[in-house]
């Protein structure tokens, strides 16, 4: 079934388009692939980026929206990504980057397209483990900017994944969350809110 990619806030998309049209922003990004790109570069595949802040004693993952990520496509491939963040004045361009997570995200999304159930794709970052996952949320109609991983949602660790966690292998949240919480300092993820 097809993935139901959420629509990014219009100001977030506009900020990326403005940055792409700015030679200074592109040059200062230090992303060789974006600098060397031939032809027009277009932002696509907007994914909300959530951060795993903690896990409650009941095993519920507390997350927060950190930004929106857009893949920057030039021709038939993604050459970089752009990230936006929420500021007191609204959505603003944050930075361009490239690296393994760009290709790994695309691979995980292609894999997810072959799953029978429809999902809303998101990204979930676990900063304490230097880990990024594709979060396949089962409620396709949900507001992509809010919510928490449901026990039946899927998490697909992106490469490079932490040692002992296989990249590109889908896990139910109920299965992977305990593994993650065992690896993170208990005072940071468990217990009272920070």
DSSP state of 64: E
DSSP state of 190: S
Separation of alpha carbons 128 and 142, rounded Å: 27
The larger pLDDT score, comparing residue 22 to residue 190, is at 22
What number is the average pLDDT over the span 119-129? 93
Separation of alpha carbons 115 and 177, rounded Å: 21
pLDDT in tens, 40-91: 899 999 999 999 987 766 666 788 999 999 999 998 889 999 999 999 999 9
What is the total residue count of the chain?
194
User: Confidence class of residue 116 from pLDDT cuts 50, 70 and 90?
Assistant: confident
Residue with tokens 């109609």: 141
Closest C-alpha to 50, from 88, 2, 83: 83
Phi, psi dihedral angles at 73 (to 5 degrees): -100, 135
pTM, entire model: 0.89
Taking residue 192's Cβ as centre, other Cβ atoms within 10 Å add up to: 8
Closest C-alpha to 132, from 152, 103, 111: 103
């Amino acid at each position: 079934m097809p993935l139901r990619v959420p629509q990014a806030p219009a100001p977030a998309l506009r900020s990326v388009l403005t940055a792409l049209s700015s030679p200074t922003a592109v040059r200062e990004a230090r992303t060789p692939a974006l600098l060397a790109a031939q032809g027009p570069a277009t932002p696509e595949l907007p994914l909300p980026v959530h951060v795993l802040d903690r896990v409650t004693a009941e095993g519920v993952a507390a997350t927060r929206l950190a930004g929106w990520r857009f893949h920057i496509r030039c021709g038939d491939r993604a050459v970089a990504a752009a990230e936006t963040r929420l500021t007191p004045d609204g959505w603003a361009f944050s930075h361009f980057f490239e690296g393994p997570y760009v290709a790994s995200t695309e691979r995980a999304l292609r894999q997810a397209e072959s799953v029978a159930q429809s999902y809303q794709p998101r990204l979930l970052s676990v900063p304490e483990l230097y880990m990024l996952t594709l979060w396949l949320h089962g409620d396709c109609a949900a507001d992509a900017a809010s919510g928490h991983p449901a026990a039946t949602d899927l998490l697909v660790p992106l490469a490079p994944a932490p040692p002992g966690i296989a990249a590109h292998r889908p896990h139910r949240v109920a299965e992977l969350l305990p593994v993650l919480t065992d690896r993170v300092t208990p005072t940071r993820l468990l217990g009272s809110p920070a």
